[in-house]
Structure 1
Amino acid sequence: MKIQFLGAAGTVTGSKTLIESNGIRILVDCGLFQGGKETRQRNWEPLSVLPSSIDFVLLTHGHLDHCGWLPLLIKQGFEGKIYCTSPTKAITRLILMDSAKIQEEEAEKANKEHYSKHIPAEPLYTVEEAEKVLPFFRVIKPEETFDLDAEISARYFTAGHILGACSIELTLEGKKLVFSGDIGRDNDDLMFPPIKPKTGDYVFLESTYGDRLHPDTDAKAELELYINEAFEKGGNVVIPSFAVERAQAIMYLIWQLKKEGKIPDMPYIIDTPMGIKVIDIFTENREWHKLRIDECQEMCAIFSMITEYEETIAAIYDDQPKVIIAASGMITGGRVLSYLERYIVRPETTVIIVGFQAEGTRGRKLLEGEKEIKMYGKYYPVEAKIVEIEGLSAHGDQDDLLNWLSELETKPQTVFLVHGETEALVTLKSKIVAKYGINCEIPYQEQTIEIN
Structure 2
Amino acid sequence: MEKGTIQIHFLGAAGTVTGSKYLLDTGDRKVLIDCGLFQGIKELRLKNWEYPPVNVNDIDAILLTHGHLDHVGYLPRLVKQGFKGPIYGTYPTLDIARIILNDSAKIQEQEAERANKEGYSKHNPAKPLYNLKDVEKTIPRFKGLPPGQWMPLLKNVKARFQYNGHILGATYIELDMQGKRFVFSGDIGRTNDLLLYPPIKPKRADVVFMESTYGGRFHSEEKEAIPLIEKLVNETISRGGSLFIPSFSVERAQLMMLILYRLLKEDKIPRVGMVMDSPMGVDVLELFYRTRDWHKLSEEECDAMCSHFTIVSSFYETMQLRDDGKPKIVIAGSGMLTGGRMLNYLETQAQNPNNTLLFIGYQAEGTRGRKILEGERELKVYGKTVPFKMEVVEIEGLSAHADHRELLDWLSDINEKPERIFIVHGEKEGAEALKQGIEETYGWNSEIPTLYNIEEINIK
Please, what TM-score do these two structures have when normalized by structure 2? 0.97
- What is the CA–CA distance in structure 2 between the aligned matches of 1:150 and 1:122, rounded to whole Å? 40
Of 188, 195, 202, the match for 1:197: 202
CA RMSD of aligned residues (A): 0.8
- What is the CA–CA distance in structure 2 between the aligned matches of 1:142 and 1:386, rounded to whole Å? 39
Instruction: Report the number of matched residues.
Output: 452
Task: Give the partner amino acid of 1:259.
Answer: K
Task: Give the partner amino acid of 1:206.
Answer: E
Task: Give the partner amino acid of 1:302.
Answer: H
Task: Give the partner amino acid of 1:112.
Answer: K
Of 305, 313, 320, the match for 1:307: 313
- What is the CA–CA distance in structure 1 between the aligned matches of 2:309 and 2:266, rounded to whole Å? 16
Q: Which residue of 1 aligns with 2:191?
A: 186
- What is the CA–CA distance in structure 1 between the aligned matches of 2:316 and 2:128, rounded to whole Å? 23
Task: Give the partner amino acid of 1:443.
Answer: P
Name the SS of the counterpart of 1:341 in structure 2: helix
| 1:68-96, Cα deviation, whole Å (9 max, x unpaired) | 00001100100111000000111000000
| 1:119-168, Cα deviation, whole Å (9 max, x unpaired) | 00000000111121111011100111011122111111011000000000
Contact 1:50 1:77 in 2 (8 A): no
- What is the CA–CA distance in structure 2 between the aligned matches of 1:302 and 1:175, rounded to whole Å? 51
Shift of residue 379, structure 1, vs aligned partner: 1.0
- What is the CA–CA distance in structure 2 between the aligned matches of 1:361 and 1:303, rounded to whole Å? 28
Task: Give the partner amino acid of 1:231.
Answer: I
Q: Does 1:4 align with 2:41?
A: no
Name the SS of the counterpart of 1:295 in structure 2: helix
Of 353, 374, 377, the match for 1:347: 353
Q: Which residue of 2 aligns with 1:145?
A: 150
Q: Does 1:277 align with 2:280?
A: no
Name the SS of the counterpart of 1:157 in structure 2: strand
Q: Does 1:96 align with 2:82?
A: no
Runs of 4+, deviation exceeding 4 Å = none
Task: Give the partner amino acid of 2:392.
Answer: I
- What is the CA–CA distance in structure 2 between the aligned matches of 1:221 and 1:67, rounded to whole Å? 35
Q: Which residue of 2 aligns with 1:225?
A: 231
Name the SS of the counterpart of 1:373 in structure 2: strand
Name the SS of the counterpart of 2:71 in structure 1: helix
- What is the CA–CA distance in structure 1 between the aligned matches of 2:61 and 2:155, rounded to whole Å? 14
Of 375, 378, 382, the match for 1:369: 375
- What is the CA–CA distance in structure 2 between the aligned matches of 1:86 and 1:148, rounded to whole Å? 17
Of 120, 126, 133, the match for 1:128: 133
- What is the CA–CA distance in structure 2 between the aligned matches of 1:412 and 1:128, rounded to whole Å? 43
Of 394, 403, 412, the match for 2:418: 412
Q: Which residue of 2 aligns with 1:156?
A: 161
Task: Give the partner amino acid of 1:279.
Answer: L
Q: Which residue of 2 aligns with 1:208?
A: 213
Q: Does 1:402 align with 2:408?
A: yes
Shift of residue 173, structure 1, vs aligned partner: 1.4
Shift of residue 373, structure 1, vs aligned partner: 1.4
Per mean C-alpha deviation after superposition, the further-off stretch among 172-181 and 210-219 is 210-219
Shift of residue 371, structure 1, vs aligned partner: 1.4
Name the SS of the counterpart of 2:172 in structure 1: strand
Name the SS of the counterpart of 1:282 in structure 2: helix
- What is the CA–CA distance in structure 2 between the aligned matches of 1:86 and 1:416, rounded to whole Å? 28
Q: Which residue of 1 aligns with 2:120?
A: 115
Shift of residue 222, structure 1, vs aligned partner: 1.0
Name the SS of the counterpart of 1:218 in structure 2: helix
Name the SS of the counterpart of 2:183 in structure 1: strand
Q: Which residue of 1 aligns with 2:81?
A: 76
Task: Give the partner amino acid of 1:388.
Answer: E
- What is the CA–CA distance in structure 2 between the aligned matches of 1:159 and 1:215, rounded to whole Å? 20
- What is the CA–CA distance in structure 1 between the aligned matches of 2:160 and 2:246, rounded to whole Å? 34
Structure 1 unaligned segments of length 5 or more: list them: none
Of 294, 314, 323, the match for 2:329: 323
- What is the CA–CA distance in structure 2 between the aligned matches of 1:385 and 1:163, rounded to whole Å? 31
Task: Give the partner amino acid of 1:197.
Answer: P
Shift of residue 215, structure 1, vs aligned partner: 2.8
| 1:6-52, Cα deviation, whole Å (9 max, x unpaired) | 00000000000000114110000000000022221110011111211
How much identity, in percent, do the aligned residues show?
Answer: 53
Of 5, 11, 20, the match for 2:25: 20
- What is the CA–CA distance in structure 2 between the aligned matches of 1:341 and 1:249, rounded to whole Å? 26
Name the SS of the counterpart of 2:205 in structure 1: coil
Contact 1:413 1:439 in 2 (8 A): no
Task: Give the partner amino acid of 2:139.
Answer: L
Of 337, 340, 359, the match for 1:334: 340
Task: Give the partner amino acid of 2:65.
Answer: T
Task: Give the partner amino acid of 2:306.
Answer: C
